[in-house]
Amino acid sequence: MRDADMTILHIDQAGPLMTVQDMGRPGRIGVGLSPGGAMDRAALIEGAALLGLSEVVAGIEMAGLGGTFRTDAPMRFALTGARMDAQIDGQPLRWNASHLLHPGQDLRIGGVQAGAYGYLVPAGGVRGEGVLDSRSAHLSVGLGAPLAAGDTLVIGQDPKRDRPLQIIVPDDRLSGGLLRIMPGPQTQMFDPATRQRLTQITFGRGARSSRTGSPLDYDGHRLGPSGSRGPVSDFIRVGDVQITGDGTPFVMLAECQTVGGYPRIGTVIADDLSRVAQAASGAPLRFEWMTIAQADAAYRSVGQHLREAAAQVRPLVRDPADIPDLLSYQLIDGVTAGDP
């Protein structure tokens, strides 16, 4: 079934790990399903803000490499998250901006220039049949699959199709930085000196990072709990920093398991998880402890985050120097020939 207002997005080429993602399936930890959803949730929120949407919609997450896209009707979209090389019919596109793709044009998104996960967010959102209230692929449990060449996606109706193109300049989250961490149920298993040392080490995102989480590499004396006895298996959540047997911190991300038996030193606050997901290998990551009160004060609902992002977008004003075909523009529209 296809509604007249629906647009079809054709995928002619696809990177190896390109998936549809929204805000995931929260609320199911008790039955063993982690929330999943976009690795960089801020990117979907900024996409919605750029497009003037009142809610976050499902977009395409591109890990490391994008693809080639065509549309059968004019389609507004935003490019957010990891900066990638993008062009429409050979014309380079600004990242962190909204754009318009016409039928007959080719949108090509290449490799990342900074960060790990880029997003293509269509204004109408990726529609179609979801599973358990979400369109997100949750690959670790076999829900959905990566997108492939030849796939088509149904895009919903654009609620603001005449809105001018916009840009946003988000705070940098693509090159590592500070991870604010709050205490959790097992923080006391680590002695004060170890908790202090966590903040003094410069970590790097490990090569085995995936949608389930990121191991953090570091040099020197290994981190570990004070006792030798392992805790009873308990819930583990996105953001928890588990210290595995060899002393490696592992930050749990979107598709993490729901129960774990390794001790957790604390929980990275939600706003800083994008930094973990987007850090290139070699980008420095450091921890800074927050009290519970500070972490709670830093909480933002998705709605609040979207309102804040919407306040930061501004119209894309093109610099004439950036317009290669300046002479073809009707620059004197409305000017009439004067009397001689």
Partner 1 sequence: MSQLTKAPQMDLHPMGQDGILVRFGDGFEVATQPALTAARVIEHARIEGVVEIATALASVLVRFAPDRISRAQLADRLREMLLQPSVDADDGPGRLWTIPAVFDGPQLADVARHAGLTETAAITALTDARLSVLAIGFAPGQPYLGHLPDAWDMPRQTDLTPEVPAGALVTALRQLVLFANPSPTGWRWIGRCAFVPFQPDRPDPFALQAGDCVQFAATDAGTIDQLRRNQPDGLGGATCATLT
Segment lying near partner 1 (by CB under 8 A), choices 56-64, 135-143, 160-168, 323-331? 135-143
Q: Which amino acid is at 11?
A: I
Specify the residue, 3 or 288, whose C-beta has the smaller distance to partner 1: 288
**DSSP per-residue codes, 293-304:** HHHHHT---HHH
- Tell me how far, at minimum, the Cβ of 233 lies from partner 1, in Å: 6
Q: Which amino acid is at 210?
A: S
123 binds partner 1 (CB under 8 A): no
- Residue pair 267/240 in contact (Cβ under 8 Å)? The answer is yes
- Tell me how far, at minimum, the Cβ of 187 lies from partner 1, in Å: 8
Which one of residues 8, 93, 100, 143 is an interface residue with partner 1 (CB under 8 A)? 143
21 binds partner 1 (CB under 8 A): no
For 100: left if phi > 0, alpha if psi spans -120 to 50, otherwise beta; the answer is beta
Specify the residue, 71 or 134, whose C-beta has the smaller distance to partner 1: 134
Cβ neighbours around 193 below 10 Å, total: 9
- Beta-strand ranges (E) seen in the chain are 7-14, 18-21, 59-63, 67-71, 75-88, 91-92, 97-101, 107-122, 152-155, 166-167, 177-182, 203-205, 213-217, 234-235, 240-243, 249-252, 259-260, 264-268, 284-289, 314-315
* String marking each residue 247-286 x if it binds partner 1 according to CB under 8 A: ----------xxx-------x-xx----------------
308 binds partner 1 (CB under 8 A): no
17 binds partner 1 (CB under 8 A): no
Which one of residues 16, 55, 91, 132 is an interface residue with partner 1 (CB under 8 A)? 132
Cβ neighbours around 224 below 10 Å, total: 18
Segment lying near partner 1 (by CB under 8 A), choices 21-29, 91-99, 275-283, 320-328? 21-29
* String marking each residue 196-235 x if it binds partner 1 according to CB under 8 A: ---------------------------------x-xxxxx
How many residues of this chain bind partner 1 (CB under 8 A)? Answer: 42
- Beta-strand ranges (E) seen in 130-191 are 152-155, 166-167, 177-182
